[in-house]
Amino acid sequence: MSKRIFTGDLATKEMRAIAEDSSIQTIWDRKLKQEPHCGFGTLGICCKNCNLGPCRIDPFGEGAQCGVCGADADVIAARNLLRHIAAGSACHNDHGREIIKTLLLASTGKAPGYKINDAVKLERFAKEYGLETSGKDVNKLAEELAERLFKEYGQQSGELMLTNRAPKKQIDIWRVNNLMPRGIDREVTEALARTNIGVDNDYRSIMMQGMRTALSDGWGGSMIATDLSDILFGSPEPLRAKANLGVLKDDQVNIIVHGHVPILSDAIATASVDPALIQLAKDKGASGINLAGICCTALEVLSRKGVSVAGNFLQQELALITGAVDLMIVDLQCVMPSLPSIASCFHTKVVSTNPRAHFPGSVYIEFHEEKGMEIARNIITMAIENFPKRDKSRVHIPKESRDLVGGFTTEYIFKMLGGNYRSTFSPLNEAIISGRIRGVAGVVGCDNPKLKSGETHITLVKELIRKDVLVVQTGCAATACAKEGLLVPEAAFKYAGKGLQEICAAVGCPPVLHLGPCVDNSRILTACCEMVKEGGIGKSLDELPVAGAAPEWMSEKAIAIGWYFVASGAMVVFGNPYPLHGSHNLTKFVTEEVESVTGGKWAFEPDPIQMAKIIIEHIDKKRQALKLKPMMYP
């Protein structure tokens, strides 16, 4: 074994060493080969938007200070950033579109594997869109809702309906500053059009479109995806499961769902408990079928079905290197192109399923909702038939897995705080007002080999809860903390400050609440709206003692998410900056000036303890402005 020191949790370290011993290249090796990363790209000052270039700006002020067309560092960096926001928003918005399609097919009887699981939420949601609900058949209502939602994607003017969930002051901020998203597809298209050569040449104006585009994601595509997934697949409620590679079983057929859209993973989860398939697995010598997940689709089936999480983004290759995965099903987003080649070192099959996302070397089985259950059963059968080909001598499953509680939602927080008979956010607001809880921080996003693979999240979250900040999480950040055992009620007594401990003990909740996959960051927006509505801690989201962080972000989706929070009034800290520091003016705009527009702003800080300090200072500043009591246990 080499002398390299591996970072990450124990299972990650163990599997990285095995990968190296087996000469299997992983993301960390590829990252090393890319170092040093391109300086112009890192600073955001290279442009390849037209064939006058590619152009780049000399960051030292000696060489070219503008591209061939005349665009300077400010315009180039802002245009690049807007393209990132557009791509990230497009991913979430397209995800929402897929769920609407499934709702339409299910409600019209064309996708018999799917049905309305939460009719109460359907009715509430349909009312928000102004649909007549009384006396209407559930499927008819769902069909009307789906058609209404599709129209919002193509809408050319007006305002997205779900922005009405925001406090009045927030809506006024968006209207006055021309930030209100008009149509879901419209904003992404306009973002791309504006960044073509010679269109929008003012970095401030470009960034205003960036915020409007991001808002079309947070209060549009993502929020629709979250609510419709609850309606179709059931609203989550807290449940226990496990996280880390140790959830794989050496005597069972191991199937991993990986990607994002829950339509396929939900069908696989349902089919995986089919007694006939379990019997088939036994006939092939396995003791059962073990389903686990990677990335956000894992968190969809975790929060609704209690399926355990095999790992986060950085562990997808390592899962295959255990030699114990009989089949990995992927749809789209955050799926590494390297998977089929790693799988080819073992008996593992990689099945790709989405017409938008092809993976050479994988088996392609196109997924259609109309035959969802049939396709799911076929894929599981393929996994079972692959089980006897597993080479036991090459199986290496790390022991590590930790308990977690997942499945929190805005609606459940109501119930949790107020009990079944008095649903209310009041105890949370009261705890903040009285100084038991300092505020709330969302710690979300990816894991990234540029940082210490998960440790940044863990250190940050431990520091925040120690200082009585309630933490809410989504995505791979949540998985990182779950693997450390932070997402169980017991963690409060080990790590949380006294005030937060008292609240966790009274309510019986963990100090870190798992709100699901990345699209469910929209739950953080709606929870903030409920905090404002409850009263006493501000009239708009920017007045709340809250903040957000994505310590190890890497995806363009994280940039879009960060921007919809900043555009909604929050301060957001990223571990590493996104590429903008080559433009002094743009950096000043995002870290300072934007605050006078939306009340939110950006900060960049890779050190998790410093990051916690920035968040706590921000929360304390908001507490002071609200004239809240001093912290009870400083």
Q: Which of residues 490-509 bind ligand BF8 (CB under 6 A)?
A: none
Q: Which of residues 325-364 bind ligand BF8 (CB under 6 A)?
A: 334
Least CB distance to ligand BF8 at residue 305 (A): 18
Pattern 196-225, binding to ligand BF8, x per CB under 6 A? ------------------------------
Rounded-to-integer distance, Cα 347 and Cα 304, Å: 30
User: Which of 106, 122, 255, 295 forms a contact with ligand BF8 (CB under 6 A)?
Assistant: 295
User: Which of 417, 518, 567, 619 forms a contact with ligand BF8 (CB under 6 A)?
Assistant: 518
Q: Which of residues 255-284 bind ligand BF8 (CB under 6 A)?
A: 260
Phi, psi of 230 (to 5 degrees): -60, -45
Closer to ligand BF8 by CB, 79 or 258: give it.
258
Residue 313 interacting with ligand BF8 (CB under 6 A)? yes
Question: Which amino acid, one-letter code, is at 451?
Answer: L
Question: Which amino acid, one-letter code, is at 370?
Answer: E
User: Which of 475, 511, 548, 575 forms a contact with ligand BF8 (CB under 6 A)?
Assistant: 475
Rounded-to-integer distance, Cα 56 and Cα 73, Å: 8
| Residues ≥6 apart with Cβ < 8 Å to 74 | 203, 583, 585, 586
Binding residues for ligand BF8, rule CB under 6 A, total: 15
Pattern 553-572, binding to ligand BF8, x per CB under 6 A? --x-xx--------------
β-bridge partners, 243: 309, 402
Closer to ligand BF8 by CB, 446 or 628: give it.
446
User: Are the C-beta atoms of residues 482 and 402 closer than 8 Å to each other?
Assistant: yes
Residue 47 interacting with ligand BF8 (CB under 6 A)? no
Least CB distance to ligand BF8 at residue 374 (A): 27
Residue 476 interacting with ligand BF8 (CB under 6 A)? yes
> Tokens at residue 128, please?
């928000």
Give the 3-state secondary structure of 353-411.
CECCECCCCCEECCCCHHHHHHHHHHHHHHHHHHHHHCCHHHCCCCCCCEEEEECCCHH
Pattern 425-454, binding to ligand BF8, x per CB under 6 A? --------------------xx--------
Least CB distance to ligand BF8 at residue 258 (A): 9
Least CB distance to ligand BF8 at residue 245 (A): 16
Q: Which of residues 587-626 bind ligand BF8 (CB under 6 A)?
A: none
Closer to ligand BF8 by CB, 81 or 518: give it.
518
Rounded-to-integer distance, Cα 380 and Cα 148, Å: 35
Least CB distance to ligand BF8 at residue 222 (A): 10
Closer to ligand BF8 by CB, 301 or 476: give it.
476
CA distances from 175 to 212, 489, 543, 551, 598 (A): 11, 42, 18, 31, 11
Give me the DSSP letters along 116-157: -S-HHHHHHHHHHTT---TT--HHHHHHHHHHHHHHHHH--S
β-bridge partners, 513: 472
Structure-token match 């779950």, residue found? 482
Write out the E strands in 216-263. Answer: 239-243, 253-258
How buried is 179 (Cβ within 10 angstroms: 0-12 exposed, 13-18 middle, 19+ buried)? buried
User: Which of 111, 243, 286, 296 forms a contact with ligand BF8 (CB under 6 A)?
Assistant: 296
Scanning 38-46, 123-131, 464-472, 552-560 for contacts with ligand BF8 by CB under 6 A, the matching segment is 552-560
Least CB distance to ligand BF8 at residue 611 (A): 17
Structure-token match 């097919």, residue found? 105
- Residues of this chain that interact with ligand BF8 (CB under 6 A) are 260, 295-296, 312-313, 334, 445-446, 475-476, 517-518, 555, 557-558
